[in-house]
Structure 1
Amino acid sequence: MTAPASPHDVLIIGAGPAGSACARILAQAGLDVLLVDQHPPGRDKICGDGLIPDAHKALARLGLLDEVMRRAQPVSHVGCIGPRGGRIDVPGTLAVLPRKELDALLLQAARDGGARFEQARFEAPLEEDGRVVGARLKRGDDVADVRARWVVLATGAVPKALTAAGMCERHTPSGVALRGYVKAPKLVGKITALEVVWDKAVRPGYGWIFPAPDGHFNIGVGVTDSHRDLGGGKGRKKDVNLRAIFDAFVAKYEPAAELMRVGELVGDLKGAPLRCTLTGARWTRPGLLVTGEAAGSTYSFTGEGIGKAMETGMLAADALLAHREDDAAARARYEASLLALKPKFDLYERANRVNAHPWLADLLIWRAKKSPRLLKRMSGVLNETSNPGNLVSLKGLSRLFLE
């Protein structure tokens, strides 16, 4: 084992959207930032790749929106398709860019901002007098203790790092997803929206097809309530077979069947866990902040998490910049900022009942076709100006017949 390295201002574990966004903000402010990830730059990430308005806002703050949009596939609507085949196109500022490209761009932006990157695996936190003062990192066969005034854990949905840091409150995920890429130039211009499909065949989840750049499409299925909570942070997977749900989606939804029929699957279908609703982990302890999907930054109901991962990473950076020398004040500010987001996450959790009861999607689509006001409210959910939970509450459902 090598001797402890000279201290950094901030050590960030995980170079996904949360970690890279945090690193860029801190490094641009002049802090000494070391960003590490166990994977080399350009690693793949299982995701729907959809960039909804919150992601656009975060990218704009990072100064990266124009660069991302030069590479991404712009999209103007989310197509909501119900079990009976009804459809409503909800307008929004949207785009699709594979995570392999997005994450590489975000990491490079962090490095351009002044952060240093190393490929290393987080083993455990370093602690002194009850405070985290760095981390034990493994680089190949070498293990080194790296000291830092602050450690930010942005390690995604897999709970291993959270557990090692003593921050994990739920070991099982909130949800699971399966996706693949299909190259189908024949369907360019035919599938143009972010298509989200609810049906009994994919219950208790949903299917999607998102148009990506260069004649590719992201196709997948997600289940955002996949594990039973057995208490004590443990859980058991429900009777959910993602491959069977994917096959049912393709069999039931003709555009998906056509995509798989005329297109070429690029690589394998891949699955991944989701951590949602800002639950499942402690957010802070002395010297350490947890951010991004490690903190549960993915929305239940939609499974969208890229924008909120970047947002929580920047909130962590803001807290550290506001209180560079005051541990308690920095942690209090960060926790308060996440608590301010929590009601929004809870509303998406309420809206998650659509996945368990797809007929609710039929009802919403039916009424939205007759009500410009309701369609505007649905667009507001995308833009985070409307309450998604109210759309499927008893009061919200009763209002559908009055609008």
Structure 2
Amino acid sequence: MIDILIAGGGPAGLAAAIRAARAGLEAVVVEPRPAPVDKACGEGIMPGGLTALHALGVHPAGHPLHGIRYTDGLRSAQAPFRGAYGLGVRRTALHTALHERAEALGVRIVEGKVREVRQDGHTVTAAGLTARWLIAADGLHSPLRRALGLDHPVPGPGRYGLRRHYRTAPWSDLVEVHWSPHAEAYVTPVDDHLVGVAVLSRDRRPYADHLAAFPALAARLTGPGATPVRGAGPLRQRARGPRAGRVLLIGDAAGYTDALTGEGIALAVATATAAVGCLVAGRPEEYPARWRRATRRYRLLTHALLGAAGRGGGAAPPPAARRPAPPPPPPRRGGAGR
């Protein structure tokens, strides 16, 4: 029998599969889309996330990042990473690296979609497969979270993200955050000839309209976009809990606050590690507490920054972000460790 069935083959699901395989468990990933999978994201991996990927044996190609610069075109504040570096990585390159690592470890990846779950005291069945446990890694708007009755309504207007790439040489080895009263734009170099520009805002308007609100940035991006505009949102999602019986939720499926800290990959790996670790130890009941510990710093920091931004939807002013929070501690190695 399959030890762990994983719904969703994005970074969180593949990280869980890699962890399970390294612990000697049989993991099967169910994913409807062929690899590589693209997604609207900022594509900047912070130092803690990069450490976590390396611990998985995943080393994607990208552009080194040495800090963050915040600017409104008149003022700026720069926050270098201390003793570490991040990486700007095309989402497709990241997915390819994770996918290849999982397959090299013997993980089976099958095409399909998990639409419903049947479980008893010993097994869980989904997508025509039966396993001892199911890990739900099916993304921000997780159908499994809803099907299991774990979806929690989020009040107020949501924030949305839009991303596009431009074919130009990076002008900095920093992530640039341009802000206005209504949005922020994140510029991330992802290779020697390509930068990604992601916009986060509560205002739903075309990408070109958002970009026009950052004239200094728009002046650097004179050519046509190299990729289509991709969108995601609303970003904030809540779950009543990260576990329902023999189903454990990880990554965005377990809840998400906002993308402004750039820690999505670190969280994906951290929650995958916590879930697999609890299953390997035979203590699934401990997962909710481990999930809370693994995500606590991110949740507190993100809520604080969103509160500092106020109702306008723009980024917090530079003084609130001169010293980025230290990256999460490096993962522990071992059978189910990160």
2:71 is aligned with 1:81: yes
2:251 maps to 1:267? no
- Cα separation, 2, equivalents of 1:288 and 1:96: 33
Where is the strand percentage greater, Structure 1 or Structure 2?
1
1:336 to 284, 289, 292: 289
Q: Deviations over 1:91-140 (max 9, x none)?
A: 122111111110121122112122111111111002236x76121x2xxx
Equivalent pair of 1:170/1:281 in contact (CA under 8 Å): no
Residue of structure 2 aligned with 1:241, choices 194, 204, 209: 204
Query: Which of the residues 110, 114, 119 maps onto 1:122?
Result: 114
Equivalent position amino acid for 1:160 in 2: P
Percent identity of paired positions between Structure 1 and Structure 2: 25
Instruction: Determine the C-alpha separation between the residues in 2 that align with 1:29 and 1:342.
Output: 23
Letter in 2 for 1:162: R
* Match for residue 261 of structure 2 among 302, 317, 323: 302
CA-CA distance at 1:189 after TM superposition: 4.7
Q: In the TM superposition, what is the alpha-carbon distance from 1:360 to its structure 2 partner? A: 5.3
User: Per the alignment, in what secondary structure is the counterpart of residue 39 of structure 1?
Assistant: coil
Equivalent residue runs for 1:14-163 within 5 Å = 14-64=8-58, 67-68=59-60, 71-82=61-72, 85-92=74-81, 93-128=85-120, 133-135=124-126, 137=127, 145-163=128-146
Instruction: Confirm or deny: 8 A CA contact 1:299 1:305 kept in the other structure.
Output: no
CA–CA separation in structure 2 for the residues paired with 1:313 and 1:297: 15
- Which of 270, 287, 290 is the matching residue for 1:311? 270
Amino acid at match of 2:229: L
Query: What is the CA distance between 1:384 and its match in structure 2?
Result: 5.1
1:182 counterpart residue number? 166
Partner SS, residue 135 of structure 2: strand
Seen in structure 2, the aligned counterparts of structure 1 residues 360 and 117 have a Cα distance that, compared at 3 Å, is closer
Letter in 1 for 2:270: E
* Distance of aligned partners of 1:275 and 1:189 in 2 relative to their CA distance in 1, 3 Å threshold: closer
Give the secondary-structure state (helix, strand or coil) at the position aligned to 1:268. Answer: coil
Letter in 1 for 2:317: A
Q: Deviations over 1:285-335 (max 9, x none)?
A: 111100001112555643541211121111111111111xxxxx31x2211
| CA 1:46–1:169: 2 relative to 1, 3 Å | same
For the residue of structure 1 that corresponds to 2:119, the secondary structure is strand
- State the partner residue of 2:186: 208
1:252 counterpart = 2:206: no
Structure 1 residue 348 corresponds to structure 2 residue 302: yes
- Report how far residue 18 of structure 1 moved: 0.8
Cα distance in 1 between the residues matched to 2:252 and 2:118: 22
- Contact preservation (8 Å) 2:77, 2:318: no
Code of the aligned partner of 2:77:
I
RMSD over equivalenced CA pairs, Å: 2.5
Query: CA contact under 8 A between 1:222 and 1:303: conserved in structure 2?
Result: no
In 2, distance between residues paired with 1:213 and 1:340? 34
- The alignment partner of 2:233 has SS state of strand
From the superposition, tell whether residues 274 and 73 of structure 1 become closer, same or farther in structure 2 (CA, over 3 Å): farther
Q: Which amino acid aligns with 1:361?
A: P
- 1:267 counterpart SS class: coil
Give 1:153 deviation, angstroms.
Answer: 0.2
Q: CA deviation at 1:222?
A: 0.9
The residue number in structure 2 matching 1:280 is 239
Contact 1:26 1:33 in 2 (8 A): yes
The structural deviation recorded for 1:341 is 3.3
Using CA pairs below 8 Å that are at least 6 residues apart, which structure has the higher relative contact order? 2
Paired residues, what number? 322
Distance, in Å, in 2 between the alignment partners of 1:360 and 1:214 is 29
Deviation for aligned residue 1:146: 0.9
Q: TM-score, normalised by structure 2?
A: 0.86
Deviations 1:46-94 (Å, cap 9, x if unpaired)? 1110000221121122122xx32xx111111211114x62112211221
TM-superposed CA distance for 1:354, in Å, is 3.4
Instruction: Give 1 or 2: higher helix fraction.
Output: 1
Once the two structures are overlaid, the 10-residue window that deviates more, 342-351 or 164-173, is: 164-173
Q: Does the 8 A contact of 1:297 with 1:312 survive in 2?
A: no
> CA separation in 2, counterparts of 1:104 and 1:122?
22
Q: Is the 8 A contact 2:166 2:196 kept in 1?
A: yes
- For 2:234 and 2:255, locate their aligned partners in 1 and report how far apart those are by CA, in whole Å: 8
C-alpha separation in 2, matches of 1:189 and 1:346 = 32
SS in 1 for 2:177: strand
Show CA shifts across 1:170-203 (max 9, x none): 379953200011112xxx2524320011212xx1
CA-CA distance at 1:154 after TM superposition: 0.2
8 Å contact kept, 1:157–1:294: yes
Q: 1:132 to 1:85 in 2, by over 3 A?
A: farther
CA contact (8 A) 1:12 1:23 kept: yes
Cα distance between partner residues in 2 of 1:11 and 1:40: 18
